[in-house]
């Protein structure tokens, strides 16, 4: 029983080896070595192009997020300025000072967003 298994394994191995030789010979007959090198080179360039595309896509998504954040900040500032304009009619000094502090913080945040936009060259 054990010998028959060994002989079957040996027979299958020989069959595989002969098939492999036949496949290799057939493949070499179909394609010249220059063609095979061209296939490998094309595959490498396709991978490089795909990586470049994915990197550009990620950068574009980051830029879109930065633009949205910048626009949301500008909207917040404009809304705050409208509220501040209404509050300035009240003579309560504490509210005005707190409002100015919040406005200053928003202004600083906007400056940082502008710096990020300039660094990423979105515009």
Domain spans of the chain? 58-120
Taking 50 as the threshold, does the pLDDT of residue 123 lie above it?
Answer: no
pTM, rounded to two decimals: 0.41
pLDDT 10s digits, 42-99: 778 888 888 999 999 998 898 888 888 878 877 877 787 777 667 666 556 556 667 7
Question: 9-18 burial by CB neighbour count: b if 16+ within 10 A, else e?
Answer: eeeeeeeeee
Place of tokens 């299958």: 12
Confidence label for 37 from pLDDT (cuts 50, 70 and 90): low
């Amino acid at each position: 029983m054990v010998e028959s298994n060994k002989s079957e394994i040996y027979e299958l191995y020989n069959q595989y080896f002969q098939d492999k030789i036949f496949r290799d010979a057939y493949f070499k007959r179909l394609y010249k070595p220059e063609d095979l090198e061209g296939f490998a080179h094309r595959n490498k360039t396709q991978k490089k192009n795909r990586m470049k595309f994915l990197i550009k896509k990620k950068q574009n998504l980051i830029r879109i997020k930065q633009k949205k954040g910048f626009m949301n900040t500008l909207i917040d500032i404009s809304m705050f300025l409208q509220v501040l304009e209404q509050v300035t009619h009240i003579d309560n000094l504490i509210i005005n000072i707190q409002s100015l502090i919040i406005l200053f913080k928003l202004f600083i945040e906007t400056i940082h967003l502008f710096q990020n936009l300039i660094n990423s060259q979105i515009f």
